[in-house]
Amino acid sequence: MCGRYTLLADELEILDEFGLEGEIADYEPSYNIAPGQRVLAIIHNGKEKRAGYLRWGLVPSWAKDEKIGYKMINARSETAHVKPSFRKLMESKRCLIVADSFYEWEKTESEKQPKRIQLQGRKLFAFAGLWDKWEQGENTLFTCTILTKQANGFMKEIHHRMPIILPKEKEDEWIAPVKIPSEKAKTFLDTLHTEELTAYNVSSYVNAAKNNDVKCIQPLT
């Protein structure tokens, strides 16, 4: 799964990495991004790529209560194409969720050890995400979820699931402004290769979502 991550790059780095123009309104780096918070995402509106904030935890357009979002921070890529909450989003509401590392907790005999996980080959990357718009009365929410898959050889020593990190050359294809069958979107995700990852132990300080400073990423010694 993916329940916490970081985005520490400066705004210009993000604009350059993802080929964006203009500025990112209200951009703030974060050492400890958690469900329910605003997350930086990129969509294609048919004319250009746009970066903005979505709330992490998908609230489907048909949901009666926005609280369902806290149960939908992740979507399993193996079944998203047939699930009512995700099927139509796989067709036409795909997004990039910008990050530069994520946290996962490895079970040990006595505790869960938090680890910070990064790509070996590049700093910034994007999770494959889905988004939706929810309206109820005067309340409007734009929310998202991160797609996950079975852990690869590296990650399975830490956790049995992992977020889908899009290869650089596949990012624009994922958010192309065209409607495709949900099965085709699943096939696209199934065929992605996973880049080399690296991980190191960090303090349990990161466990609390309220903690958001450099202590979250300091290597445990």
Is position 106 annotated as part of the catalytic site? no
Selected catalytic residue, list 2, 95, 144, 216: 2
Scan for tokens 């530069």, then name that residue.
100
The two beta strands, 94-99 and 30-33, are unpaired
**Catalytic residue selected from 17, 91, 104, 171:** 104
157 is catalytic: no
- Identity of residue 76: R
C-alpha span between 145 and 57 (Å, rounded): 6
- The structure tokens listed for 125 are 């990357």
Q: How far apart (Å, rounded) are the C-alpha atoms in residues 96 and 99?
A: 9
Cα–Cα distance between 105 and 160 in angstroms, integer? Answer: 11
- Identify any residues that bridge with 198 across adjacent strands, giving them in sequence order: 118
How remote is the C-alpha of 108 from its chain's centroid?
26
Element (H, E) at 49: strand 49-56
Which amino acids are annotated catalytic?
2, 104
